[in-house]
Structure 1
């Protein structure tokens, strides 16, 4: 069964090198990072809080990549997503390396060894890992390519879904004049517009098949994918092509189409995830806030609907949330599951508050650190 990660318990690290001293420039990489970060934080994808997305652009050295990646691997308990765009190199021992601004042909030590990144993933606390590699072998830089294995074989990690752009030439990776590289551009379009006649959730298997068809039709190299332990069921967002094109008016008591997939309360482990999924309920229903209020038979107003899904702390009582879910058309058995998630989060919040009572500001300090990292590493290398 496909599942959307809990945004509060998930992290994304987006790494990109577009400026090089000795390799071909890839100016589209900067656009890739900005656009992908925006989508991952927005309603068209995972809705990750901004502080849970770290951008590492044109890193001057390996530690600039490894430090925020290690932090994200420590913080993520649901899903850890790692993205790299730039030149990918294969060294004389058939090991994958990621090119950095100062990488020199024939001097693989000036690159980022992918095995270092792989080890962090293996040691991560996250239940699931997603690795997106938008890179080529850059055969002109090393003068050789691996004929026996593809990029995905070199980069595969147990417990991970890995999706790699199999670009073998520089022009296929980043067509001149395009805003984005070929692979990432197709990925962004899919997240924004969805897959016609596709499933409600854009799980990674769907993403891979769509990108394969799309890039092949454009005469671009075909992506590779490797799946470990059902990683293909992780979704990157809801299929926008399957959602109502505009809010609809539904008579009270009428049934919603059977194909609607409601947010899964069992996948919620954080307060952020609770409210993110609560907002998604109305989107899936296709109802306006006014319609939700009307269908609640006066139990909640339009303003209450807006305030409920934009809260940052759990409501002290369950009544309003139950009325909202019922008015949106969520089945009774799922409303009971939502109630269970609310109760569990309330218990966890009480326990956490008690634990922090002797350490004022501890949690806030950590959150601030993550936000500063996001800004700090984006600014380096410019």
Structure 2
């Protein structure tokens, strides 16, 4: 079953090297990284908070990249996305190395061995799922020619992950001169923005890979490759924008709700994820704030809908959210699931607040406490007497 990651428990690290001291320049890579960062934070994709997306452009040394990935790996508990665009090198041992700004061909110490990142994902990551996207080339090829050996996916494989690699053969136009993006990342961005007509409700990595393969092959570009480990292909990077339902014709709450791809509350782990999915409910319903208010029979106003969806803390009572979900058309069994998630997150927040306050400190009751009270009372009587 495809699932959208909880944005509050997920992280992304986007690395791009567009400027080189010794290799051909790749100006489109900078556009790749900035556009993907904006997309991952937008409603068209995962709606990751800005602070959960780390962009590393033109790193000069390997530890800059490794440090960023290690930090994200320690913070993410749901999904960790690692993206690299730039030149790639393959050494005499057929190991993949990612080219940095000062990388020189034939000098492996100037690059970033992919295996270093792989070890971070394997050993240091708390995330349940990993997504690795590699849009890289070998040096020695002119700008606009990127390549990858047939074994690239095997080299870069990480247990519990989905690897999406760019070209699997040496062909031109992977990074066409003058294009805004590289061919592979450009097709990925276009798919996330506009969707797949007739495709699935969620753009999981399996569907994305199949669509990108057909699209790029039809354009005469190198064909991408993928490797799925432990159902990583079921991780979605957004909703299919070409498959969003039209606004409901009926005005009765719940009508036609079974046909709508509602967010699954069981995938929510954080308060951020809760409100992201809550806002997604209205988008899927096709209703405006005013329409939600009208369908609630006056229980919530349009302004209340807006305030609810812009909160950062959970309401202390359930009534408003129940009215909102019902007005959007969710069936009762799903509303019950939402309530259970709300109760769980409320309990976690209460527990966290109690831990932050620390244990209550009881009054000091030493062996002399009684005598000290008697002395104080005696002084009080003398002063009053």
TM-score by length of 1: 0.89
2:221 partner SS? coil
Q: Distance in 1 between matches of 2:90 and 2:73?
A: 25
Given that 2:253 and 2:326 are in contact with CA atoms closer than 8 Å, whether structure 1 keeps it comes out as: no
Which has the larger Rg?
2
Given that 1:135 and 1:173 are in contact with CA atoms closer than 8 Å, whether structure 2 keeps it comes out as: no
Consecutive unaligned residues of structure 2, counting only runs of 5 or more, are 360-385
Residues 225-263 of structure 1 deviation map (CA, whole Å, 9 limit, x = unaligned): 000000000000000001146x55532146226442110
**Hey, what does 1:63 align to over in structure 2?**
63
Change in Cα spacing, 1:192 to 1:140, as seen in structure 2 (3 Å) is: closer
- Deviation, 1:154, is 1.0
Change in Cα spacing, 1:253 to 1:7, as seen in structure 2 (3 Å) is: closer
**Hey, what does 1:340 align to over in structure 2?**
340
2:167 partner SS? coil
Residues 328-375 of structure 1 deviation map (CA, whole Å, 9 limit, x = unaligned): 01111110000000000000001111222259xxxxxxxxxxxxxxxx
1:311 partner SS? coil
User: Residue 233 in 1 paired to residue 234 in 2?
Assistant: yes
**Hey, what does 1:180 align to over in structure 2?**
181
**Hey, what does 2:79 align to over in structure 1?**
79
Residues 119-176 of structure 1 deviation map (CA, whole Å, 9 limit, x = unaligned): 11112100100000011233549xxx99974321110111000000016458432101
CA RMSD of aligned residues (A): 1.9
- Deviation, 1:67, is 1.0
Consecutive unaligned residues of structure 1, counting only runs of 5 or more, are 360-382
Change in Cα spacing, 1:169 to 1:101, as seen in structure 2 (3 Å) is: farther
Q: Distance in 2 between matches of 1:338 and 1:130?
A: 28
Given that 1:157 and 1:228 are in contact with CA atoms closer than 8 Å, whether structure 2 keeps it comes out as: yes
Q: How many residues align?
A: 355
Residues 32-78 of structure 1 deviation map (CA, whole Å, 9 limit, x = unaligned): 11100000000000000000000000001011101111110000000
Identify the structure with bigger relative contact order (alpha carbons < 8 Å, sequence gap 6+). 1
User: Residue 30 in 1 paired to residue 30 in 2?
Assistant: yes
Q: Distance in 2 between matches of 1:217 and 1:89?
A: 27
Q: Distance in 1 between matches of 2:147 and 2:213?
A: 21
2:164 partner SS? strand
Q: Distance in 2 between matches of 1:176 and 1:169?
A: 16
Given that 2:147 and 2:168 are in contact with CA atoms closer than 8 Å, whether structure 1 keeps it comes out as: no
Change in Cα spacing, 1:197 to 1:257, as seen in structure 2 (3 Å) is: farther
**Hey, what does 1:264 align to over in structure 2?**
264
Q: Distance in 1 between matches of 2:165 and 2:122?
A: 19
1:241 partner SS? coil
